[in-house]
Amino acid sequence: MAILSSFAPLTILSLVLLVVGIIVSGVEARPRAFFVFGDSLVDNGNNNYLATTARADAPPYGIDYPPSHRPTGRFSNGYNIPDLISQRLGAESTLPYLSPELRGDKLLVGANFASAGIGILNDTGVQFVNVIRMYRQLEYFKEYQNRVSAIIGASEAKNLVKQALVLITVGGNDFVNNYFLVPNSARSQQYPLPAYVKYLISEYQKLLQRLYDLGARRVLVTGTGPLGCVPSELAQRGRNGQCAPELQQAAALFNPQLEKMLLRLNRKIGKDIFIAANTGKTHNDFVSNPQQFGFFTSQVACCGQGPYNGLGLCTALSNLCTNREQYAFWDAFHPSEKANRLIVEEIMSGSKAYMNPMNLSTILALDANT
């Protein structure tokens, strides 16, 4: 598998990243800023500050998060994908934009605008009520730039954003918490699935264009995971341990169209701004062959209850596995920290099948020479 092949050059890669991420022309510099947009897969605590049920602010969330081993708002037992990318940049983790600690020099690290429950569409996740929808995340990004300008000046703030790395992860909820949320949902009555996917892609393109207009120049865009194979869907829609076919079809339609759209945008702009991160393929690798990646199971969640531990929320009363390293899924929807590490390995050094047109280590090396 491609994931395993990425481990061999890690020693060399880490040295490259040390040079690229922290040292510029022999002079010590601040690591490049990092901005995160999207949903619960990348939210690191914004929803803790909102009146919503889409929160991960109670045990056992954060059970492996150092040093406190307490909940942080991340939908994980430990680190999530943005944390692990920050580590590769040689930077501290970005703070949630709503955190009162995000001020002064902390602003120069970047910010995380993501909010659990949201989607590409504004009507996705309406049951969660008070979440930061994508249009609002982009408004906050503009507000952030004004705040940074007040500290380092408009010109330097513009450069900080231009040189930053951006991660956006959104789209899964538009199926799980919208189209397939209930039988005969409003969106499923409005569109057959292929037409709905086409509509999502067109709306997503508008968001990405807006992100570009706001100054983003290196943007990692992840696809959806194997939506029908998460423990929640196995428990509710799967048959005999098989992934839910309708949600698998949705992912199979969405991910290739997303990649094509990103490449079109790049051609239109004339530069490789948007990078398609095929995290769905990475997920499928360890879902289809968990033992090869050191997992005991890719079907049963570590934390939860009911079939596959896939029903309801992960709470202090839930079943809880003792060895999180053996589980691909932490809760009914979200990968474990170990699974997140595998995903980030592919983001860093994956082949073109996983990272198109290039992986993150290549991006960092190229940017070091410009």
> What's the pLDDT score for residue 29?
67
> What's the pLDDT score for residue 151?
96
Selected catalytic residue, list 6, 39, 40, 283: 40
Residue with token string 């930061």: 132
Backbone angles phi, psi at 292, to 5 degrees: -65, -25
Quote the CA–CA distance of 118 and 104 in Å, as a whole number.
28
Q: What average pLDDT is seen over the chain?
A: 92
CB atoms inside a 10 Å sphere around CB 153: 11
Quote the CA–CA distance of 268 and 280 in Å, as a whole number.
26
Is 285 one of the catalytic residues? no
Q: Would you call the peptide bond into 67 cis, given omega within 30 degrees of 0 as the criterion?
A: yes
Kindly state the helix (H) or strand (E) to which residue 304 belongs, with its residue range: strand 303-304
Is 76 one of the catalytic residues? no
Is 40 one of the catalytic residues? yes
Is residue 231 within 8 A of residue 300, CB to CB? The reply is yes
Could you tell me which of 202, 245, 200 has the C-alpha nearest to residue 227? 245
Is residue 98 within 8 A of residue 50, CB to CB? The reply is yes
Burial 259-275 (b: 16+ CB within 10 A, else e): bebbeebbeeeeebbbb
Selected catalytic residue, list 39, 43, 174, 331: 331
Selected catalytic residue, list 43, 272, 334, 361: 334
- What residues of the chain score a pLDDT lower than 70? 1-29
β-pairing, 23-24 vs 27-28, is: antiparallel
CA dihedral 90, 3, 257, 252 (to 10 degrees): -130
Give 333-367 pLDDT, tens digit per residue.
Answer: 999 999 999 999 999 999 999 999 999 999 999 99
Q: Residue 292 has which token pair?
A: 């090869």
pTM of the model: 0.91
